[in-house]
Amino acid sequence: MAKQIFLNLPVADLPRSMAFFRALGFSFNAEWTDEHAACMVMGENLFTMLLTRERFQSFTPKPVADAKTCSEVLICLAVDSRAEVDQKVAAALAAGGSVYKDAEDHGFMYAHGFQDLDGHIWELAYMAGQDAA
């Protein structure tokens, strides 16, 4: 089994993207952060590497998707409550993100999400009766 997960995302403006995610409560590992990449800590052994588009392109022979015009990935984070879903979406909007669809209540699951500054979709879900840990 995997020991760590690193999600890699291309971003247009690394300092601006870091400020956006700091506004949502995330921190960064300074040891793995420079002017081309920032390691966002999402949990124990869970990280997102925010990479300049040029650095991201250096890892793949394929064209880098523009998340503002197409969906390349849906990132879903489990959280501890419905209130936390709504709080994180509100924080994302206040920091310059946008909503891409309305909240959904399926009874067993409440979900809502946002697009970050580069158009990547981040979904937040609360599963009734489940710990988000």
Q: Indicate the SS3 state at residue 12.
A: coil
Percent of the chain scored above 70 by pLDDT? 97
* CATH code given to domain 1-62: 3.10.180.10
- The H or E element containing residue 92 is helix 82-94
Residues 104-128 have a mean pLDDT of: 95
- Determine the Cα–Cα distance for residues 54 and 128; give it in Å rounded to an integer: 41
Domains 1-62 and 71-133 share a fold: yes
- Which tokens go with 61? 């022979």
Beta-bridged to residue 27, according to DSSP, are 41
Mean pLDDT of 17-23: 98
> Whole-model pTM?
0.88
Question: What was the pLDDT predicted at 133?
Answer: 45
For residue range 42-72, what is the model confidence (pLDDT) as tens digits?
Answer: 999 999 999 999 999 999 999 999 999 998 8
Structure tokens at 37: 């990449």
pLDDT in tens, 69-86: 998 899 999 999 999 999
Angstrom distance (rounded) from CA 51 to CA 34: 10
Task: Domain 71-133: state its class.
Answer: alpha beta
Domain coordinates of the chain in residue numbers?
1-62, 71-133
